[in-house]
Amino acid sequence: MLNNSGEPQASWLRSIANQAVAEWSLVRGVDEATLRRDAFALYVACYALIRVGNVVAARSRDLEIIYPNYEWVNWVDLRNRLAHQPNPTAPLNPYEVWAAVSQSLPELIQAISGEPPAL
Amino acid sequence: MLHQATPAQAAALRAVVEAIEEALFVLHELDPRTLPTERRMLYSAAYGLIRIGGAIEQHCSQLELISPESPWADWVDLRNRLAGKPGQVSVDEIARAVTEDAPQLVRDITGAEPNVGPKVRLEDLPLDDIADFCREWGIKEAYMTPPELTGVYLSGPFEGVELALLVDYHNDAPGRKRHSSMGRLISQHIGIKTYVGGLPAPDNHIQNWPYDAMMARRELVYAE
């Protein structure tokens, strides 16, 4: 996306990619088993995902129109569910968090920049 | 607040206490001085506050009835800013909410200190009883480690575990054959709900256990 975009879209995309890479650097490599047993790691991952969802949410309507092939809304939806769960005292779903961290986040970075994040 | 609450209000208050104690349990080793530099600590604190704010928002109508003067809305506002506008929340605000305001809210609700952190300390353990148990079942060494590192606090049969022991058996120890029963048996023996796991070795432990953290924070409870 980034290589084919003019301004201001490129600026939005760079902002999202930078945030995603920053959060990726914090949570990369975490596995589902760790998220299941280590609530500290689970909390960290959840907040990292919320922060990514935030920057996507800031431009999601525009992005959905310009880049309809990417499911931007999934990030906003994930952010909302992690931050505004119907039952805040219910256990989190470590699998969902792990899938977002290990698959959706690098996919987002690759979708924007054209390259997967460095491992 | 709890003693003057109706059943519905008490349920709301307990939900708030539960959310706070969960967050404080996760953060029980938080050093507020590390928040500006340790991003993982900052994130976990922020997410704990989001969970607390969510619990308060869910029950705000009951909470407003039992204590209209309490700043319930401030907690929800903090949750909303952390979730939607993180740049509007300072590190100091996060630190104060986690280390001062949240524990104080539990005190205001229950009249007691939050029930968080390691459930029991080494000096609280009946070491003689544990030694008797270890000798009976052929345990060479036993260490206590924070239960949360073993994951046993999350749910299921280990919910409410107060003590996690990592043990090493003799090769022919009777306890080795009945390892899965050791937690229940020692719980009955010492009167503390206990999880018993095998002492992991560096090259032979369950994949992805927080081995380093468990080893760093273990305390010797028994050795032959």
In chain B, where do the E strands start and end?
Answer: 139-145, 163-169, 194-198, 219-223
- With an 8 Å Cβ cutoff, is B34 touching chain A? no
In 3-state terms, what secondary structure has residue B120? coil
Phi-psi region of A92 (alpha: psi -120 to 50; beta: other; left: phi over 0): beta
Nearest residue, CB atoms, A39 vs list B15, B26, B79: B26
- Indicate yes or no: CB of A43 within 8 angstroms of CB of B151: no
Q: Which residue has the tokens 């390892």?
A: B179
> Helices (H) and strands (E) in chain A — how many of each?
6, 0
The closest CB to that of B48, out of A37, A43, A89, belongs to: A43
Nearest Cβ partner for A40 among B18, B44, B85? B44
> Would you call A51 an interface residue with chain B, using a CB distance cutoff of 8 Å?
yes
Given this model, what pLDDT does residue B207 score? 45
Nearest to B84 among A39, A48, A54 (CB): A54
Interface check A89 vs B, CB under 8 A: yes
Report yes or no: B18 at the A interface, CB cutoff 8 Å. yes
CA-to-CA distance for B214 and B204, rounded, in angstroms?
14
Q: For A67-100, how does the pLDDT look when each residue is reduced to its tens digit (9 = 90+)? A: 888 999 999 999 998 988 656 555 567 888 999 9
Residue of chain B minimizing CA distance to A41: B44
- pLDDT tens by residue, B81-125: 999 988 889 999 999 999 899 999 999 998 888 877 566 788 889
**Run of H or E residues at A65:** helix A39-66
pLDDT at residue number B134 = 96
A47 has a chain B CB within 8 A of its CB: yes
pLDDT tier at B206, thresholds 50, 70, 90: very low
Nearest residue of A to residue B149, measured between CA atoms: A38
CA distances from A19 to A26, A51, B81 (A): 11, 8, 18
In this prediction, residue A108 carries a pLDDT of 93
Instruction: Give the residue on B whose Cα is nearest the Cα of A48.
Output: B43
Closest residue in A to B50 (Cα–Cα): A83
With cut-offs at 50, 70 and 90, classify the pLDDT of residue A36: confident
CA distance B161 to B195: 6
Query: Cβ of A44 under 8 Å from any chain B Cβ?
Result: yes
Interface contact B221, partner A, CB < 8 A: no
Q: CB-based contact (8 Å) between A31 and chain B? A: yes
pLDDT value at B153 more than 70 = no
Task: Give the least confident one: A2-6, A16-20, A36-40, B150-154.
Answer: B150-154
User: Over the stretch B173-205, which tens digit does the pLDDT of each residue have?
Assistant: 999 888 889 999 999 999 998 989 888 765 544
- pLDDT (tens digit per residue) in B5-38: 888 888 899 889 888 888 887 887 777 788 888 8
Given a cut of 80, is residue B212 above it in pLDDT?
Answer: no
Q: Please give the C-alpha separations between residue A109 and each of A102, A113, B90, B150, in angstroms, as whole numbers.
A: 12, 6, 28, 33
More confidently predicted of A26 and B153: A26
Question: How many angstroms separate the most distant Cα atoms in chain B?
Answer: 64
Within an 8 Å CB–CB cutoff, is residue A85 touching chain B? yes
What tokens does B152 get? 């046993």
Q: Given an 8 Å threshold on Cβ–Cβ distance, is A91 in contact with B47?
A: no
Does the pTM exceed 0.90?
A: no
Cβ contacts (< 8 Å) between B46 and chain A: which residues?
Answer: 47
Gap between the Cα atoms of B176 and B155, Å rounded: 25
B45 pLDDT above the threshold of 80: yes
Q: Which of A39, A82, A91 sits opposite B148 (nearest CB)?
A: A39
